[in-house]
């Protein structure tokens, strides 16, 4: 039997268990501001827009046409998305509400009012998620997978779990006090209240809360144990009167506090700050209970939360654990067919990879085109005796990374290798610190990190001795050098030996080594140097062309559109008659379709099995067709606090392919696309009068499997 220390409830708090207004699902009045918000805001709130994106993810979980285990996966993504949203955005907005209560966001909301609306939206979203999860459980049970989350009245199930108690006890811990520092974030706890005191049980290992039970007939069975622990709390406290018990989870803010100009090394500061997250301010308490209780209110007050930070749902906590069920053996019909990434025919012979790139630029469209081609590019360079130098930026990568191993192998082969490892990549700090140390020990020159900026660009440059000259080969991408996410995210990469691009990539690496020293860029658009100003200029040029009697057209694909200067420029372009097509996966602060403001702008969001992650910016430019791929969204942080690159597609064939196939494919989607309305709501796109059904991600996969026959790329297929 587990012995757990109990903690007395201070007598002065027993009669004051409601230090804040009772919670009944509403958010209460927001503090009054001294100035009135605009009657009609030109901008949508970025955080409410993000919640709309999470709603679209939830819609995939709710769609009965989606395979059952995929629906479960989408449902778990909704939960993990929401947790990160609270760690980062809600924590930041709460700080703004405390420090500058009268400050307004571009949409006119104060921070306090934004928090109130966020809470209202989250409550509705979680209620919908509970309904969807019940439906998914029923669908899975019909397919032979039963997930038990409730144990009341099921004596056999109760006995089965109880017999596993010897296994479970090793993942439970006793709590000696209820203080913010004593509870782990993102863990499942059980609060147990007795007359005048309480105790806490903690499931240390999140994954162990999911038990696989013996099969019952043809059914595979699983159980989430925290509700059982709450219902059977007397098992742990046989001599105590249990008044109530319920599972709960806390979320702490994830902002790292460090001092870029401090004498202590930035790496040490980041490591300390990451460990400091364990003691960071609690921003959310979520309890799994049928109703609010005395214990839940007391728990919230003890954690320093008011009513806005307490959430109650009759829904299992932290659904991410259920993602493990997705990988059960068999059940192929319950998942999408595995993607089959293809190696483009020009890159099939890795021994000729440099000759092939020198002949013409190569575009890679992941996950349809294999990320192995990028690994082969670096691995071949590491072993090629003619390669002299390698430069690389790393933002996120896997724990076992073939890219990092290639860099270390290059050093062993006598090559000079320089890497910038971004140790401030949120939630990957410790992994990246480990890689920075590992690379240094292998002999790689790891550039000293910049405190005030993140290096978010994805760039590799290889120098190779060919005759009397040194030729540069470059890979530029929209996504991370991460083999796992390259199977889950849609991204684009360019392999090129273009002289102008190579020269500026070299200047970019020089700027990084010199801690951001200024450099002039004409081919590349580089943040924080000229990315914002040049993007604005390109938008305004389309407006000028349209006003001069030409035909302006802008197509932009990104994860988020937030920057107000660019939104204003797009509004001006629309008023001039420029056609603006936007593919925005997540946050969009622009209101499309408003007469006199944005009637020539449409916004489409595609949410499907792969996370849309590529950034593409197309400008008709009077018929010249300018296309840029980028690591940057149109957000202030990407323009001003990160080193980012938008790189031009110089190859005419690739420009046409990106415009006519990739961008047009996304805009033509009638299966997984949503259309943004002027009021900020989204509705599903349906086939038009032609009845043409297009699912863009399936189309892209089919094209890759057929080696792009029937497209403009076909003539590059080797005979």
Structure confidence at residue 167 (pLDDT): 65
* DSSP result, 259-306: -TTSSS-HHHHHHHHHHHGGGSPEEEEEEESSS--HHHHHHHHHTT--
Is the pLDDT at 33 greater than 80? The verdict is no
Single out the residue of 633, 642, 565 nearest to residue 106, CA to CA. Answer: 565
Is the pLDDT at 109 greater than 70? The verdict is yes
Measured CA angle at 364 (ends 358, 370), to 5 deg: 115
Catalytic site residues?
A: 456
Is the pLDDT at 498 greater than 90? The verdict is yes
Global pTM value? 0.92
What's the N-to-C CA distance of the chain in angstroms? 72
| Percentage, residues of the chain above pLDDT 90 | 72
Structure confidence at residue 199 (pLDDT): 86
Phi, psi for residue 519 in degrees, rounded to 5? -150, 155
Structure confidence at residue 172 (pLDDT): 52
**315 with 129: CB under 8 angstroms?**
yes
Output the average pLDDT for the chain: 89
Is the pLDDT at 28 greater than 80? The verdict is no
| Percentage, residues of the chain above pLDDT 70 | 90
Q: Could you report the per-residue pLDDT of 650-686, keeping only the tens digit for each?
A: 999 999 999 999 999 999 999 999 999 999 999 999 9
Is the pLDDT at 258 greater than 90? The verdict is no
State the SS3 of 40-78: CCCECCHHHHHHHHHHHHHHHHHCCCCCHHHHHHHHHHH
* DSSP result, 603-650: EEEE-SSSEE--EEEEE-GGGT-EEEEES--BSHHHHHSEEEEEEE--
**91 with 283: CB under 8 angstroms?**
yes
Structure confidence at residue 13 (pLDDT): 40
β-pair partners for 619: 554, 626
Q: What CA–CA distance (Å, rounded) separates 474 from 499?
A: 10
* DSSP result, 440-465: HHHT-EEPPPPSS-EE--EEEEEEEE
Structure confidence at residue 39 (pLDDT): 47
Mean pLDDT is lowest, of 17-21, 48-52, 188-192, 649-653, for 17-21
Structure confidence at residue 274 (pLDDT): 78
* DSSP result, 93-144: HHHHHHH-TT-B-TTS-BHHHHHHHHHHHHHHHHHHHHHHHHHHHHHHHTTT
Domains of the chain in sequence order: 7-14+40-334 (3.30.1840.10), 345-513 (3.30.870.10), 525-716 (3.30.870.10)
85: which 2 tokens? 């949203």
β-pair partners for 147: 222
Upstream peptide bond of 271 is cis (omega within 30 degrees of 0):
no
Structure confidence at residue 40 (pLDDT): 61
Using CA of residue 670, residue 672, residue 676, residue 681, what is the dihedral sign?
A: positive
Q: Is 86 helix (H, G, I), strand (E, B) or coil?
A: helix
Reported confidence tier of residue 20, pLDDT bands at 50, 70, 90: very low
> Which range among 178-187, 207-216, 262-271 has the greatest average pLDDT?
207-216
- Pair type for strands 145-148 and 7-8: unpaired
Structure confidence at residue 180 (pLDDT): 57
Structure confidence at residue 22 (pLDDT): 32
Reported confidence tier of residue 4, pLDDT bands at 50, 70, 90: very low
Structure confidence at residue 718 (pLDDT): 58
**644 with 631: CB under 8 angstroms?**
yes
**164 with 197: CB under 8 angstroms?**
no
**676 with 607: CB under 8 angstroms?**
no
Reported confidence tier of residue 31, pLDDT bands at 50, 70, 90: very low
DSSP state letter for 207 = G
Q: Could you report the per-residue pLDDT of 112-156, keeping only the tens digit for each?
A: 999 999 999 999 999 999 999 999 999 999 999 999 988 877 788
Between 666 and 304, the higher pLDDT residue: 666
Structure confidence at residue 8 (pLDDT): 52
Single out the residue of 50, 109, 21 nearest to residue 586, CA to CA. Answer: 50
**477 with 350: CB under 8 angstroms?**
no
Is the pLDDT at 293 greater than 60? The verdict is yes
* Overall average pLDDT of the 320-349 stretch: 92
Between 635 and 308, the higher pLDDT residue: 635
Q: Is 562 helix (H, G, I), strand (E, B) or coil?
A: coil
Q: What CA–CA distance (Å, rounded) separates 391 from 458?
A: 11
Q: What CA–CA distance (Å, rounded) separates 366 from 493?
A: 8
* Overall average pLDDT of the 494-522 stretch: 93
For residue 686, the tally of other CB atoms under 10 A from its CB is 11
- Pair type for strands 197-203 and 310-313: unpaired
691: which 2 tokens? 């009845």
Is the pLDDT at 59 greater than 60? The verdict is yes
Structure confidence at residue 15 (pLDDT): 35
Between 414 and 257, the higher pLDDT residue: 414
Alpha-carbon distances, residue 369 vs 361, 375, 401, 664 (angstroms): 15, 12, 19, 19
Q: Could you report the per-residue pLDDT of 596-653, keeping only the tens digit for each?
A: 999 999 999 999 999 999 999 999 999 999 999 999 999 999 999 999 999 999 999 9
Upstream peptide bond of 528 is cis (omega within 30 degrees of 0):
yes
């Amino acid at each position: 039997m587990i012995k757990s220390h109990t903690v007395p409830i201070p007598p002065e708090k027993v009669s004051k268990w409601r230090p804040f207004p009772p919670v009944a699902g509403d958010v209460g009045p927001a503090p009054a501001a001294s100035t009135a918000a605009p009657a009609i805001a030109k901008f949508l709130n970025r955080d409410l827009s993000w919640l709309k994106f999470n709603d679209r993810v939830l819609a995939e979980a709710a769609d009965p046409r989606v395979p059952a285990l995929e629906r479960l996966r989408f449902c778990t993504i909704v939960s993990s998305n929401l947790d990160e949203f609270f760690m980062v955005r809600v924590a930041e907005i709460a700080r703004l509400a405390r420090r500058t209560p009268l400050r307004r966001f571009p949409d006119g909301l104060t921070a306090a009012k934004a928090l109130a609306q966020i809470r209202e939206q989250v409550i509705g979203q979680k209620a919908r998620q509970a309904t969807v999860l019940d439906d998914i459980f029923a669908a899975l049970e019909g397919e032979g997978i039963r997930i038990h989350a409730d144990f009341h009245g099921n004596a056999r199930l109760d006995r089965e779990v109880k017999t596993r108690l010897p296994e479970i006890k090793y993942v439970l811990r006793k709590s000696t006090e209820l203080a913010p520092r004593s509870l782990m974030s993102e863990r499942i706890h059980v609060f147990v209240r007795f007359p005048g005191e309480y105790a806490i049980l903690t499931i240390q290992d999140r994954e162990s809360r999911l038990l696989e039970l013996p099969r019952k007939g043809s059914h595979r069975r699983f159980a989430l144990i925290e509700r059982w622990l709450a219902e059977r709390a007397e098992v742990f406290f046989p001599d105590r009167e249990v008044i109530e018990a319920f599972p709960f989870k806390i979320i702490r803010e994830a902002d790292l506090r460090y001092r870029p100009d401090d004498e202590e090394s930035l790496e040490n500061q980041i490591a300390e700050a990451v460990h400091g997250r364990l003691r960071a301010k609690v921003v959310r308490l979520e309890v799994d209970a049928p109703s609010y209780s005395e214990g839940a209110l007391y728990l919230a007050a003890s954690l320093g939360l008011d009513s806005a930070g307490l959430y109650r749902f009759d829904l299992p906590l932290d659904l991410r654990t259920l993602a493990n069920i997705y990988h059960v053996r068999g059940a192929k019909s319950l998942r999408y067919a595995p993607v089959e990434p293809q190696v483009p025919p020009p890159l099939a012979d890795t021994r000729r990879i440099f000759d092939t790139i020198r002949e013409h630029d190569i575009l890679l469209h992941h996950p349809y085109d294999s990320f192995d081609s990028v690994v082969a590019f670096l691995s071949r360079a590491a072993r090629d005796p003619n390669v002299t130098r390698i430069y690389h930026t790393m933002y996120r990568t896997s724990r076992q990374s073939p890219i990092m191993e290639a860099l270390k192998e290059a050093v062993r082969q006598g090559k000079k290798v320089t890497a910038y490892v971004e140790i401030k990549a949120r939630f990957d700090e410790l992994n990246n610190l480990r890689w920075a140390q590992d690379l240094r020990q292998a002999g790689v020159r790891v550039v000293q990190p910049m405190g005030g900026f993140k290096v978010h660009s994805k760039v590799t440059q290889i120098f190779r001795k060919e005759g009397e000259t040194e030729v540069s080969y470059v890979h530029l991408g929209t996504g991370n050098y991460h083999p796992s996410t390259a199977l889950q995210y849609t991204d684009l990469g360019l392999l090129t030996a273009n002289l102008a691009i190579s020269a500026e990539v070299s200047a970019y690496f020089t700027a990084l080594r010199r801690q951001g020293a200024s450099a002039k860029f004409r081919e590349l658009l580089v943040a924080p140097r000229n990315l914002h100003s040049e993007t604005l200029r390109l938008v305004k040029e389309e407006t000028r062309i349209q006003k001069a009697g030409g035909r302006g057209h802008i197509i932009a694909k990104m994860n988020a559109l937030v920057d107000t200067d660019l939104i204003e420029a797009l509004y001006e372009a629309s008023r001039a008659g420029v056609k603006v097509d936007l593919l925005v996966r997540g946050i969009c602060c622009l209101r499309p379709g408003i007469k006199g403001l944005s009637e020539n702008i449409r916004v489409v969001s595609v949410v499907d099995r792969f996370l849309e992650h590529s950034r593409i910016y197309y400008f008709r430019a009077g018929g010249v067709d300018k296309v840029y791929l980028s690591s940057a969204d149109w957000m202030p942080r990407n323009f001003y606090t990160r080193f980012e690159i938008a790189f031009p597609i110089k190859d005419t064939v690739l420009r046409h392919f990106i415009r006519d196939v990739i961008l047009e494919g996304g805009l033509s989607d009638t299966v997984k696309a949503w259309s943004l309305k002027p009021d900020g709501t989204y509705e599903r796109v349906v086939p038009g009068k032609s009845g043409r059904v297009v699912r863009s991600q399936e189309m892209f996969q089919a094209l890759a499997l057929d080696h792009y026959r029937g497209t403009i790329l076909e003539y590059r297929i080797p005979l």
